[in-house]
Amino acid sequence: MNVDRPEESGRREQNKQRTRDALLRSAARLFQDKGYEETTVRDIAQDAGVGERTFFRYFPAKESLLLHQMRDRIPLLADEIAVRPADEPPLLALRNTVIELIGRDDIRASFLVGRQPMPVTPKTLGERFLLFEVEEAVAAAFLTRATAPDADPQDPEHQLRASILARAGVGVLRALRLAYTQLPEPARQDVDMTAYIHAGFETLLAGGLGQSVA
C-alpha cells in the first residue's frame, strides 16, 4: 500500500492551491476585460495554463468563480462601513464606502455597482445566498456603528431597523447595476461612477430615510 510522505502530500496541496488561485486570478482578469457573459470556461482555463477538465476539478461552473470572488469582498465592505465616522447616517456610510472602494486601484469593488459582474436578479440558490450575505453583513456593520449612547446591538428594534436600512441600501446598488447594464456599451464607459452612486442613493436620502439605526 502506497502511503504519501508528509512532504509529498504538502507539495500536492500547494500545487492544488496554486492552480485554484491561478484560475481565480484569470477569471477576475477576464471578467473585467471581456465581461462575465463573454468569458467562457475555456478562456479561463487557457489563461490559467490548464485544461478545461482541470477547471472542473476545482469549480463546478463559471458561476462558482463569480460567487467566490464576490463572497471574498463582503467582509471588506462590512469592515469599511463599520469604521466610517460615527456621526455618518447608515445609508450615507454605505454610499461613501462604495465610492471609496471603487476609487482604490488595488480593490476592484465596483462589482457592487456595475463594472464587475454581480447578479441583478438572483437566479440560483448560490446567488440568493450571496445577496442575503451582503445584506446581513451590511446590517451587522450598521449595528456596529449605532451612535445612540444607549444603543444595544441586541435590541430587536435596532436589529430590525438595521436590517431594513441594509436591504434598502443593497436595493439601491442592485437598481444601479440594472440601470448600468441596460446602457449601450459606449455609454457605460462615460459613466461617472461617483455621480452615478450619489444619484442612486439620493432617492432614499432625499426622503429622510435612514438617518439612524438607534
Mapping DSSP onto H, E and C, the string for the chain reads CCCCCHHHHHHHHHHHHHHHHHHHHHHHHHHHHHCCCCCCHHHHHHHHCCCHHHHHHHCCCHHHHHHHHHHHHHHHHHHHHHCCCCCCCHHHHHHHHHHHHHCCCCCCCHHHCCCCCCCCCCCCHHHHHHHHHHHHHHHHHHHHCCCCCCCCCCCHHHHHHHHHHHHHHHHHHHHHHHHHHCCCHHHHCCCCHHHHHHHHHHHHHCCCCCCCCC
Task: Please state the pTM of the whole predicted model.
Answer: 0.70
pLDDT of residue 80: 92
Cα 155 to the center of its chain, rounded Å:
28
Q: Please, which residues have CB within 8 angstroms of residue 91's CB and are 6 or more apart in sequence?
A: 165, 168, 169, 201, 204, 205, 209, 210
Give the chain's end-to-end CA distance (angstroms, integer). 64
Q: What is the reported pLDDT for 123?
A: 59
Which residues of the chain fall below pLDDT 50? 106-110, 113-118, 120, 149
Cβ proximity of 196 and 130 under 8 Å? no
| Res 46: pLDDT | 96
Please report the pLDDT score of residue 214 as a whole number: 52
Q: What is the predicted pLDDT for the residue at 126?
A: 65
Q: How many angstroms separate the CA atoms of 12 and 89, rounded?
A: 49
At residue 42, the pLDDT reads 95
- For residues 211 and 92, what is the distance between their CA atoms, to the nearest angstrom? 9
Sole residue written with cell 443593497: 170
